[in-house]
């Protein structure tokens, strides 16, 4: 469809959004079009409200808000291009979302997760990936795109291109650096085979690991190590931030390492740590 193709080009060239963001916008848009099954230029406010009602039966508020934001962006584009005279989402607001604390692993659970058997090249790759993603707080999309040129072993840092193509520098810990070197020096070439890719982490076909591939690996390791909590790459990112804060790190430093544009996003971790402190006080202080 011409409108969709032009919109995709607009997101990439004018808005300069990353591939993952563009893909997310388009997936949400295609979900709506599959439900609507009509010309996007004749969409009414009632159609949008009916679609939101449909989503309520299948998704949580946060996911619904992402769909609404994606549609707002698309229909704003159509209005700006004068393809439509009335924007059906102009008076539609996102839903109120109940604030929930981020899920994270305890330090004991992280130790359990990272204590995997190291026999094959895949084991060393998995160990390096886990040490890096937990030790740096990277998003999984940032992890799978890491190239050797992003790693500065001499200064123990990782240069990351994050959301909105913004660069940041994150410290690389001793263990992460140690296992990353082993994987790169001793095993990566074996996985690469005759392929030629710059990405550090490769799958069993010698191609770069995808986000979905990492999720699959992480779930298998969770089962093998006996961790009962639900585990996602973002759980490790939350764990990284929470453990830093518990150890006394400055909230601004954590914001920089996570690549949060707004400090309010990072402040959620202070709520987590305060909650844990309160529970410990109530459990152990004799006069509580």
CA distance 96 to 99: 9
Instruction: Give the three-class secondary structure for 261.
Output: coil
Asked if 163 is an active-site residue, the reply is yes
Q: How many CB atoms lie within 10 A of CB 9?
A: 11
The yes-or-no answer on residue 237 being catalytic is yes
The phi-psi region of residue 93 (left if phi > 0; otherwise alpha if psi is between -120 and 50; otherwise beta) is beta
Please say if 238 is a catalytic residue: no
Catalytic residue selected from 163, 168, 190, 207: 163
CA–CA separation, 264 vs 254, rounded Å?
A: 12
Catalytic, out of 139, 145, 188, 243: 139
Q: Which of 56, 234, 252, 278 is catalytic?
A: 234
Distance CA 201, CA 150 (A): 13
Which residue of the set 72, 127, 145, 237 is catalytic? 237
Strand 157-161 vs strand 151-152: parallel, antiparallel, or unpaired?
A: antiparallel
The residue annotated as part of the active site, out of 7, 51, 77, 269, is 269
| Helix and strand totals (H; E) in the chain | 14, 3
Q: At CB < 8 A and 24+ separation, what contacts does 79-82 make?
A: 81/6
- The yes-or-no answer on residue 67 being catalytic is no
| 260, HSE (Cβ side, Cα atoms, 13 Å) | 18
**Active-site residue numbers?**
139, 163, 234, 237, 260, 269
């Amino acid at each position: 469809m011409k409108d969709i193709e032009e919109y995709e080009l607009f997101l990439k060239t004018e808005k300069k959004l990353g591939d993952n963001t563009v893909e997310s916008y388009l997936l949400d848009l295609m979900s709506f079009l599959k439900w609507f099954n009509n010309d996007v230029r004749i969409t009414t406010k009632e159609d949008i409200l009916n679609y939101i009602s449909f989503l309520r039966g299948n998704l949580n508020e946060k996911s619904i808000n992402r769909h609404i934001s994606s549609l707002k962006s698309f229909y704003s584009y159509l209005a700006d291009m004068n393809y439509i005279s009335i924007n059906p989402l102009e008076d539609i607001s996102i839903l109120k979302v109940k604030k929930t604390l981020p899920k994270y692993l305890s330090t004991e659970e992280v130790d359990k997760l990272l204590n995997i058997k190291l026999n094959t090249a895949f084991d060393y790759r998995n160990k390096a990936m886990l040490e890096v993603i937990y030790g740096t707080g990277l998003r999984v999309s940032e992890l799978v795109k890491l190239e050797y040129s992003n790693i500065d072993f001499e200064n123990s840092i990782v240069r990351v291109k994050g959301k909105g193509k913004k660069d940041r520098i994150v410290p690389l810990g001793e263990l992460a650096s140690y296992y990353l070197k082993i994987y790169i020096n001793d095993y990566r070439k074996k996985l690469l085979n005759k392929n030629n890719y710059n990405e550090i982490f490769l799958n069993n076909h010698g191609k770069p690991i995808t986000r979905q591939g990492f999720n699959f690996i992480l779930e298998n390791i969770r089962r093998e190590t006996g961790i009962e909590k639900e585990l996602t790459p973002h759980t490790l990112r939350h764990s990284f931030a929470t453990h830093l804060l518990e150890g006394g790190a400055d909230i601004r430093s954590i914001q920089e390492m996570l690549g949060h544009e707004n400090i309010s996003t990072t402040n959620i971790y202070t709520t987590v740590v305060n909650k844990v402190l309160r529970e410990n006080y109530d459990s152990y202080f004799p006069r509580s």
